[in-house]
Amino acid sequence: MLQRIQSLFLLLAGALSLLTWATPVRTYTSGTSELLMLTRGIQQSDGTPMADVSMPVPFHVIHTVIGLAFLVSIFLYRNRIRQARIIRGTWLVALLNGVLQFISSRSLDAYLRDSGEVVGHYGISFYIPIAVVVFAILAERAIKKDDELVRSADRLR
């Protein structure tokens, strides 16, 4: 049913994962210039993409797939075991994606430091995978509680 607490957790996880399109992963400042690491690429603050630097992984595609998987799993409430498996697999991918984002941001940081002093600040999209994983784990725990409740009610019949 859609009014379960895990549906709210899954909705939040999916919405947060899709929110990464709008916020930067990391912001780099070097003197007067500013560089943004977004999930869809690296660009200057005016929106001009960087020609000599590219993203090693299409993070925006992965975040979109993760968000859609969470939103679709809301409607799998009739098969709780399948729903829990999909959620577990999706949050593992989200965790891996967060680690890859961290590695990519550190790699870009090292590349930019070769050309001068650079100060980097993590943005909201850097922390979103952590929140997505937390909400997904909470949803998975609530699904297990639901399943245990249904099984105990079946035993009483």
Question: Given a cut of 60, is residue 1 above it in pLDDT?
Answer: no
CATH of domain 5-156: 1.20.140
Taking a C-beta distance cutoff of 8 angstroms, is the pair 144, 6 a contact? no
Residues whose CB is less than 8 angstroms from the CB of residue 96 and which lie 6 or more positions away in sequence, other chains included: none
Residue-level pLDDT at 28: 87
Q: How far is CA 79 from CA 86, 114, 143, in A?
A: 11, 53, 10
More confident residue, 112 or 74: 74
Residue range 55-69, pLDDT digits in tens: 778 888 999 999 999
**pTM metric for this prediction:** 0.85
**Is residue 141 scored above 60 in pLDDT?**
yes
pLDDT in tens, 7-33: 899 999 999 999 998 888 888 887 778
Lowest-pLDDT range of 48-52, 83-87, 102-106: 48-52
What is the model's pLDDT at position 156? 62
Cβ-based neighbour number of residue 103 at 10 Å: 12
The answer to whether 2 and 77 have CB atoms below 8 angstroms apart is yes
Residue type, 3: Q
Mean of the pLDDT values across residues 91-96?
Answer: 93
pLDDT value at 70 more than 80 = yes
Confidence of residue 6 (pLDDT cuts 50, 70, 90): confident
Share of the chain above pLDDT 70, in %: 96
What's the confidence (pLDDT) of residue 105? 87
Element (H, E) at 37: strand 33-38
Q: For residue 3, what pLDDT is reported?
A: 64
Is the pLDDT assigned to residue 127 strictly greater than 70?
Answer: yes
